């Protein structure tokens, strides 16, 4: 039995035991319970024009407030968690994940963003997380607004991701929200096959008054 089969067997055993117990592990957003996905590569997308020119002083994985401000960012708070894995389903520890996004009005903190919507002075706009030994990561942020990419194209709410790991090629992609009709017309998302789109479109669920979504990322091994 090769390493991949071994890992898959362990994963099946884990899920079997989990279901047999009928237990629901109580988790916080920093220690989520994960649904394992297939290990097909996450589709790539460009980083777009709004990767930040300068990082905020606050560089953590909670984008809903800045450490030197007393007010919280505007918008709907969401929790994103997931696992980073390699092509053989192995968890990738110590991967560095960056996210950047628009605030709730659909505006990026970038001088090239011509959108006239207001910036949110209390929003962090960019954040960073490092996966633990199980490949797990999490972010707390707000759902970004949609924004005009051109006069005939409105980008649906999405969050940009870049993942770096020493044994894998760098992945840049975008995460989308399943309840958005703009997804159906988005030129970037619709460039992918339906199967690929499913890997980037996340369905959020409510748990203990928290809106949580799981976004797993599969990296290409070097």
DSSP-derived 3-state class of residue 191: helix
Q: Which stretch binds Fe ion (CB under 5 A): 43-51, 60-68, 83-91, 131-139?
A: 43-51
Nearest CA to 128 among 104, 163, 158? 163
Contact between 148 and Fe ion per CB under 5 A? no
Judged by CB, which is closer to Fe ion: 70, or 152?
152
Q: Which stretch binds Fe ion (CB under 5 A): 27-35, 45-53, 86-94, 186-194?
A: 45-53
Contact between 48 and Fe ion per CB under 5 A? yes
- Please give the positions annotated as active site: 108, 147, 155, 158, 160
DSSP-derived 3-state class of residue 194: helix
What's the CA gap between 83 and 168, in Å, rounded? 15
DSSP-derived 3-state class of residue 185: helix
Judged by CB, which is closer to Fe ion: 39, or 102?
102
Q: To the nearest whole angstrom, how small is the minimum distance from the Cβ of residue 119 to Fe ion?
A: 15
Judged by CB, which is closer to Fe ion: 48, or 56?
48
CA distances from 68 to 14, 121, 126, 128 (A): 43, 11, 16, 18
Binding-site ranges for Fe ion (CB under 5 A): 48
């Amino acid at each position: 039995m090769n390493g991949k089969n071994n890992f898959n067997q362990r994963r099946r055993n884990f899920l079997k035991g989990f279901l047999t117990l009928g237990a629901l592990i109580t988790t916080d957003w920093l220690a989520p319970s994960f649904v394992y996905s297939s290990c097909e590569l996450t589709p790539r997308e460009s980083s777009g024009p709004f990767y930040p020119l300068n990082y905020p002083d606050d560089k953590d994985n909670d984008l809903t407030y800045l450490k030197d401000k007393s007010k919280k960012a505007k918008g709907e708070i969401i929790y994103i968690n997931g696992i980073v894995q390699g092509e053989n389903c192995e968890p990738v520890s110590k991967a560095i994940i960056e996210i950047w996004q628009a605030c709730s009005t659909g505006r990026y903190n970038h001088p090239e963003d011509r959108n006239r919507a207001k910036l949110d002075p209390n929003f962090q706009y960019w954040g960073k997380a490092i996966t633990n030994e199980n490949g797990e990561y999490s972010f707390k942020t707000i759902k970004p607004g949609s924004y005009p990419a051109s006069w005939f194209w409105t980008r649906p709410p999405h969050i940009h991701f870049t993942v770096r790991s020493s044994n894998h090629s760098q992945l840049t992609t975008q995460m989308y929200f399943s309840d958005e009709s703009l997804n159906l017309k988005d030129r970037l998302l619709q460039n992918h096959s339906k199967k690929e789109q499913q890997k980037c479109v996340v369905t959020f669920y409510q748990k203990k008054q928290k809106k949580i979504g799981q976004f797993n990322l599969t990296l290409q091994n070097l």
